[in-house]
Structure 1
Amino acid sequence: MFRAKVNRSLSFLSTNSSRTTTTHGQHYQYLQCSKLPTLYFQRSLPRLPIPRLDQTCQRFLAAVEPLLTPEEQAGTRRAVEEFRQGAGMELHARLQASDAANKHTSYISQPWFDMYLADRVPLPLNYNPLLVMKSDPRPEYQQQVVRATNLIISSLRFWRSLQADLLEPEVYHMDARKSDTAGYRRWMKVAPKALATYASYAFKAFPLDMSQYSRLFGTARIPRLGRDELVQAPDSKHVLVMRRGHMYAVNVLDSSGYIESPSVILGRLRAVLRLDSEREAAAVPLGVLTASQRDEWAKNRAHFVSNPRNADLLQSEVDAALFCVCLDSEEDGVYDDSHQEPLLKHLLAGKAQNRWFDKSISLLISADGTTAVNFEHSWGDGVAVLRYFNELYRDTQRQPFVSTESVHTPAEGDLANVRPLDFEIDEATRSAVAEAYAKNAAIVDGLDMHLLRYPHLNKPACKQYGLSPDSIIQLSFQLAHRQAFAGYVGSYESCSTSAFRHGRTETMRPCTTATRSFCEALLQPARSRPPAGELRAMIDQCSRVHGQLTKEAAMGQGFDRHLFALRNTAQREGLPVPALYETEAYRRLNNNIISTSTLGSDALLAGSFGPVVRNGFGIGYSIQNDFAGAIVTTYRNQADGKVFIDSLESAFDKICAVIKESDSGSKERK
């Protein structure tokens, strides 16, 4: 899922302090003009390895150990050994043969697409995540329609650079000062293309897969019975603009594919607001249907497009739009730093009246200019979206193209370029929208959201004490759950495998025997608790284990995706699903009560997603220069997010106390 964590440093081309807005000029039409073609490394990326079956079995046993009693562990070992020597061997051989016959891709790519597209649950909360962008500190650029215009232009500059092979290749630099340089690019330019990735490794610079980028724009997920499909219109010239449930197709590229001038785009958005102010909010907001259970939406869409006019508008103007721009009204809420939950909840799922969740990318812009990205997840993971998100923020911060003082080109009456989408609504569709609204409202009303900002744990503190930020926060989640709910549960942290061709994600299992040992030791009564030095040594051991698991996952040596692919192979080829998948150990591990995601970004204000199981916790977290933060979502009466977030603060306190005490003791001994 979206919960892919990629720490990376991107290189950006410098821009002139005064930017020309000549519509056909290179500085306006392209965000970047890379010396290396965008897909320069794609051909030479290594293939995602299939782990050895015996290693997968060992890693599975290690992951379930902290969740099981000794008796359960013994039974699980027998089931795993039977799997390893029996059905697992045959399925592994079949998977290897299939992989060898499809060298253009990875063994996980198609099964992962199928998993997403075949799931019938609604997209909001279950799949579509939320990234909230930092506000522009300059009021003249934060105003809603101004910010929307600048975001649209920057999005198009990104898209045109990608299409022209001018967007910088995605590369993870171990030390950007040494490799994110002109010299590195000169060496890469002369490297044989078939070996370019391996030449880059010599600089400790790791190219990443960019196959998902082509689906960022012009893509829509179409509901079908049993399995959805992705459709794409990469040559589209318009965006879908939504306002109070009404939909408008707004041209943003001219007939030759060039980005329209800033004044023209600003004028067309202002024309949308003018048109919308002249009528009531949509009585039948069709976007609500995209929040439905997928088979229900498929049936309702099939009925809706049986009307030829509706079919034409939906396919040519909605599905084919480059992306969606949702201009929310005052009544939808504005950002309040002291009380963020209402707006974040609205942006994550909300009433769905002013959303089209099926679009690959939706820019959500509140009345006060607060901006977020809500994205459909089946087509890709966080790597591509975060790159787009970061580039978008940086470009709008460097030198926006319009401000509140900008003169716009009037577009009132220009129905060729600003097209209200007036569908023909019958009683069946009216009833379907009302039903979908009620179901979505009930789900969203049952969602709780709790936030924590903890100032005593931050990037400088981690550096000062030699700590791994991610390891410490994941350890805190385990401690928080243990002390609040007296147990250990299936825990999920995603890691990108984009260092490989068509890599997706691998699962990290943060609940380990090391984290369990530390939690049990720390929660002992004071008289029997180990001294701070021993506890600190246990923290370091947790960090080492966590680091090793992260390395294995990133290198395609986890076990979750391998086991997933083996089961998928059995199902695809009509073979019995092995008994291992029916064991309590497998069920407990994959009941991801704690599901976590972090995205490191200077542009990110907040990130959130729904729990992946009804009684679970969806935890979006980050560690910044001045605090560690977490947003926890739960379903009311299923899991208690308030108890967890309070326990998390206590866990942070306890772990920080151990670190400080052990550090003081170490200095005294010296």
Structure 2
Amino acid sequence: MARLLSVQCVASLRKSRIHLRAAALSINKRNYGSKKGSSTEYLSQSFGPLMHYQKSLPRLPIPKLEDTVRRYLAAQRPLLDDDQFRTTEKIAQDFQNGVGKQLHEELVAQDKNNKHTSYISGPWMNKFLSDRFSVIQTNPFILFHPDPKTEYNDQLVRATNVVCSAVRFMKTLRAELLEPEAFHLNPAKSDTDSFKRFIRWVPSSPSRPLDMSPFLHLFNTTRIPKRGRDELFTDEKARHLLVMRKGNMYVFDIVDRDGNLVTPAEIQSHLKYILCDPMPAAAFPVGVLTSENRDVWAGLRDKLISAGNAEDLRIVDSALFCLSLDDESMKDHIHIAHNMMHGNGCNRWFDKSFTVILTKDGQAAINFEHSWGDGVAVLLFLNEIFKDTTERPLVNPGSAAAAVDSASAVRRLQFNLDSELENGIKRAKENFDSAVSELTVDAIEFKKGGKAQLKNSKMSPDAVAQLAFQMAFLRQYGQTVATYESCSTAAFRHGRTEIIRPATIHTKRCSHAFVFHPEQHSVEQLQAMLSECSKYHGQLTKEAAMGQGFDRHLFALRYLANSKNEALHSLYSDPAYAAINHYILSTSTLTSPAVNLGGFVPVVPDGFGVGYGVHDDWIHCNVSSYPTRNVHEFLQCVNKSLEDIFTVLEGKTLK
């Protein structure tokens, strides 16, 4: 399952390495002038339209079946004993030589007939929309850094500036003035203004663009619950914002009839009106229904429509995005993570493509629905919003709100609710409270080393973080378990994600040496093991980023067999296949100057949801779990593992 921000391994071929993490999406220098309109209307003027490179993007390759089976077995090796592995190996080889070969040939033929997209795009979207569990289990959050000018972290000021910047981003996007995101094989030559002016006239370049198609669903989009399979709804004509406060829902236009941004002072006035509204918390907050099981929510939505709420639901669904204004101030990062991940369930519409959450003390985050896209689009958007609001805010702490009639401009939605709907909302709230009451979040900041020191030691920072998680789980539970690391394949047309499998025979051997028998190995031997883990992790990252993992291929073959109503091969019923896809360690990384924190819930009841970032001189981890796992102890073990790794890299003996 795609997790938090699968941007951490967007492919980069610089210096023959395919290893670009979130730095590929770091904040770009933008030219804020625009010849298509006022500079207050647009964020940038691109030298080439956003979708300029789409047709020239390479197609996502389908791996060779023998490579997929080989990689699958390599990932299974550290998870199985010898007898289990022999059984799984025999099943996998039978699949490769029989049914799998036939399915693979059909998949390749099907892919050749659909050159406009990728082989995984449709099946992966269908998987998300067909999942029936609550979207809280898949919606990640990303927390903005506070505005460096502290006075701009006032809730009203920051909310106004974020809304204005979001509209400017949308207008820049739709006017095709937003610069396509790309990584550069030779930045000195290709990442220049003169080159970009030239390249707008040619179909391809020595820079590698990223797939920008998910941006089509960034605004005015909502996931609509349907029985069996949801739908995505987009209405680009809508001009209004959805604002939620105390579970009450408000709308007002933030784009005028001519397509221009409503004046920031007016937006400030309308938001101030909502923040000052004495209306008590909604007795029956309809938004909590979006946290329900999808089939349950679909049935209740039908009842809402039958009760005369079709127009209000259409207004919610078509809004540019949702702004949630929370009345709470945040105590610490743990409180922030809980609030941005789920809140109280009443002041969210989790089905919106994204929601901007702003707390009373000005903490800002994006919570996004995952079916329409992955971290590439969300991180670029977040980076641009942070840059625009901090460098060129349209509203200042001393700015006066416009003297306009906000009471007339702002409409509070009032749903017609009968007793059946009220009971449905009560049950949804009870289910929500029960689910989140079991969720625990904790975080650490490891301050004894980071990216700079690791690179000096010729170690992959991401490999070291992942190795620390392997060591930690082994130290805590004595096991090596299925681990998921999200990797973007956005370098390909309609690429989504692939999985890096960080649990390897190398990390298992290294973890056992560090955790159980450090005295039996010299510092040089332990350093060699670390280097081996780093190199192999780099290879896995490169393969995944280039579409050469095994998970999406096996998923697509299974999807194809199901679509033909064929019986599945025993590979898919093998307990080892179920175990390797039971992601006890679900991990995703993000590093950006705009980002303070990110997180998500575990994907399985007995798992950890691990959001992390490796910075220049420190490493942070934000981890969630349910009662079957002890997140506090796990993070203590992560800290110990990092201490041991850095000790060995410094040439010191472990104590």
Partner residue in 1 for 2:380: 387
Contact 1:66/1:512, CA 8 A, preserved across alignment: yes
- Secondary structure of the residue aligned to 1:305 is helix
> Residue by residue, what CA displacement relative to the aligned partner does 1:347-397 show, whole Å, maximum 9, x if unpaired?
201211100000001000000010000000000000000000111101111
Note the C-alpha offset of 1:335: 3.0
Partner residue in 1 for 2:287: 287
Contact 1:449/1:634, CA 8 A, preserved across alignment: yes
2:632 maps to which of 642, 652, 666? 642
Partner residue in 2 for 1:563: 554
- Secondary structure of the residue aligned to 1:396 is helix
1:344 maps to which of 337, 344, 350? 337
> Residue by residue, what CA displacement relative to the aligned partner does 1:293-332 show, whole Å, maximum 9, x if unpaired?
1111001110011123x111111x20010000000003xx
CA distance in 2, matches of 1:600, 1:403: 28
Partner residue in 2 for 1:353: 346
Matched, 1:91 2:81: no
Contact 1:271/1:411, CA 8 A, preserved across alignment: no
- Secondary structure of the residue aligned to 2:135 is coil
Gaps in structure 1 of 5+ consecutive residues? 665-670
Partner residue in 2 for 1:668: none
CA distance in 1, matches of 2:412, 2:300: 22
Equivalent AA in structure 2 for residue 311 of structure 1? A
CA distance in 1, matches of 2:632, 2:469: 14
Matched, 1:463 2:462: no
Note the C-alpha offset of 1:15: 4.2
Q: How does 1:109-258 map to 2 (within 5 A)?
A: 109-124=121-136, 126-174=137-185, 176-191=187-202, 193=203, 196=204, 199-200=205-206, 205-258=207-260
> Residue by residue, what CA displacement relative to the aligned partner does 1:603-629 show, whole Å, maximum 9, x if unpaired?
111000000101000000001233100
Spell out structure 1 runs of 4+ moving beyond 6 A.
none
CA distance in 2, matches of 1:29, 1:444: 40
Equivalent AA in structure 2 for residue 325 of structure 1? L
Partner residue in 2 for 1:266: 268
CA distance in 2, matches of 1:626, 1:267: 43
CA distance in 2, matches of 1:575, 1:617: 35
> Residue by residue, what CA displacement relative to the aligned partner does 1:53-77 show, whole Å, maximum 9, x if unpaired?
0000000000000001111111111
Note the C-alpha offset of 1:524: 3.8
CA distance in 2, matches of 1:378, 1:34: 28
1:430 maps to which of 392, 414, 422? 422
Contact 1:610/1:634, CA 8 A, preserved across alignment: yes
Partner residue in 2 for 1:501: 493
CA distance in 1, matches of 2:406, 2:144: 33
Partner residue in 1 for 2:69: 57
CA distance in 1, matches of 2:338, 2:355: 16
CA distance in 1, matches of 2:459, 2:422: 56
CA distance in 2, matches of 1:32, 1:134: 22
Note the C-alpha offset of 1:256: 1.2
CA distance in 2, matches of 1:232, 1:108: 22
Partner residue in 1 for 2:116: 104
Partner residue in 1 for 2:17: none
CA distance in 2, matches of 1:577, 1:662: 53
Note the C-alpha offset of 1:176: 4.0
- Secondary structure of the residue aligned to 1:556 is coil
Contact 1:11/1:180, CA 8 A, preserved across alignment: no
Task: Give percent identity, aligned residues only.
Answer: 41
CA distance in 1, matches of 2:192, 2:587: 34
- Secondary structure of the residue aligned to 1:567 is helix
1:448 maps to which of 421, 440, 462? 440
Note the C-alpha offset of 1:589: 0.8
CA distance in 2, matches of 1:10, 1:206: 17
Note the C-alpha offset of 1:174: 4.8
User: Relative to 1, partners in 2 of residues 1:70 and 1:643: Cα closer, same or farther, differing over 3 Å?
Assistant: same
CA distance in 1, matches of 2:641, 2:359: 35
> Residue by residue, what CA displacement relative to the aligned partner does 1:405-426 show, whole Å, maximum 9, x if unpaired?
11211344542x3111111121
- The TM-score normalised by the length of structure 2 is 0.95
Note the C-alpha offset of 1:12: 2.7
Contact 1:536/1:662, CA 8 A, preserved across alignment: no
- Secondary structure of the residue aligned to 1:112 is helix
Partner residue in 2 for 1:667: none
1:369 maps to which of 362, 373, 388? 362
1:32 maps to which of 34, 44, 69? 44
CA distance in 1, matches of 2:427, 2:653: 59
Matched, 1:580 2:571: yes
- Secondary structure of the residue aligned to 1:29 is coil
CA distance in 1, matches of 2:258, 2:373: 29
Q: Which shows bigger deviation, 654-663 or 535-544?
A: 654-663
Contact 2:118/2:493, CA 8 A, preserved across alignment: yes
Note the C-alpha offset of 1:261: 1.1
- Secondary structure of the residue aligned to 1:392 is helix
> Residue by residue, what CA displacement relative to the aligned partner does 1:168-198 show, whole Å, maximum 9, x if unpaired?
001023564543211321331242x2xx1xx
Q: Which shows bigger deviation, 623-632 or 233-242?
A: 623-632
CA distance in 2, matches of 1:109, 1:272: 40
Contact 2:446/2:618, CA 8 A, preserved across alignment: yes
CA distance in 2, matches of 1:66, 1:600: 29
CA distance in 2, matches of 1:243, 1:523: 49
Note the C-alpha offset of 1:263: 0.8
Partner residue in 2 for 1:632: 623
Equivalent AA in structure 2 for residue 645 of structure 1? L
User: Relative to 1, partners in 2 of residues 1:76 and 1:245: Cα closer, same or farther, differing over 3 Å?
Assistant: same
CA distance in 2, matches of 1:139, 1:642: 32
2:321 maps to which of 314, 319, 323? 323
> Residue by residue, what CA displacement relative to the aligned partner does 1:200-243 show, whole Å, maximum 9, x if unpaired?
2xxxx211100100100000000011110000011211110001
CA distance in 2, matches of 1:60, 1:187: 44
CA distance in 1, matches of 2:476, 2:456: 29
Equivalent AA in structure 2 for residue 182 of structure 1? D
Contact 1:457/1:627, CA 8 A, preserved across alignment: yes
Note the C-alpha offset of 1:653: 1.1
CA distance in 2, matches of 1:626, 1:656: 12
CA distance in 2, matches of 1:480, 1:235: 51
Contact 2:139/2:368, CA 8 A, preserved across alignment: yes
Contact 1:364/1:372, CA 8 A, preserved across alignment: yes
- Secondary structure of the residue aligned to 1:26 is coil
Contact 1:10/1:170, CA 8 A, preserved across alignment: no
> Residue by residue, what CA displacement relative to the aligned partner does 1:620-647 show, whole Å, maximum 9, x if unpaired?
00012331000110001x1111121111
CA distance in 1, matches of 2:182, 2:534: 26
- Secondary structure of the residue aligned to 2:577 is helix
User: Relative to 1, partners in 2 of residues 1:32 and 1:229: Cα closer, same or farther, differing over 3 Å?
Assistant: same
Note the C-alpha offset of 1:139: 3.1
Gaps in structure 2 of 5+ consecutive residues? 11-20
Contact 1:271/1:410, CA 8 A, preserved across alignment: no
Q: How does 1:39-50 map to 2 (within 5 A)?
A: 39-50=51-62
Contact 1:471/1:546, CA 8 A, preserved across alignment: yes
Note the C-alpha offset of 1:427: 1.1
Q: Which shows bigger deviation, 622-631 or 42-51?
A: 622-631
Contact 2:3/2:586, CA 8 A, preserved across alignment: no
User: Relative to 1, partners in 2 of residues 1:65 and 1:660: Cα closer, same or farther, differing over 3 Å?
Assistant: same
CA distance in 2, matches of 1:57, 1:360: 36
Partner residue in 1 for 2:645: 655
CA distance in 1, matches of 2:490, 2:313: 34
Matched, 1:335 2:330: yes
